[in-house]
Amino acid sequence: NTILSCKNGDIVIDDRANIGFNCEIFSASKVRVGKDILMAAYTYLVGGDHLYDRTDIPVLQQGRTARGIDVGDGTWLGTHVVVTDGSTIGRDAIIGAGAVVVGEIPDFAIATGIPAKVTRHRKEQPDGPEA
């Protein structure tokens, strides 16, 4: 049971995307999932966030912000990965199980942890041999 939820946003899922069970994709802007991706079970993409700067009113009453998410072609997202609003994951990247992506992960990178950090690259250089 995967959940897709658009709240004034768009979700674009390209060809041959393999989305596992119990994933959740929420969009208050634009969330794009590239072609030929693997998204393992329980992955969570949240294309939006709550505003929270004011302390005189509850967070729920402060509105929302949304920058979107882009997951590049050929990417593999391991189980229980969280991708936060405003994040971009490059093509053919691998995100390890349980990682939380905040920001940008480059093409061919392997990233793990909370927050996700690049631990190595699948290619030595963008045009170099595969590792």
- What is the model's pLDDT at position 108? 98
Confirm if 7 and 21 have CB atoms less than 8 A apart: no
- What is the model's pLDDT at position 8? 86
Structural domains of the chain, ranges and CATH numbers in brackets? 3-121 (2.160.10.10)
Per-residue pLDDT of 70-118, as tens digits, reads 999 999 999 999 999 999 999 999 999 999 999 999 999 999 999 999 9
What mean pLDDT value characterizes the chain?
A: 94
Global confidence as pTM: 0.89
Contacts 24+ apart (CB under 8 A), 106-114: 107/72
Confirm if 65 and 27 have CB atoms less than 8 A apart: no
What's the length of the chain? 131
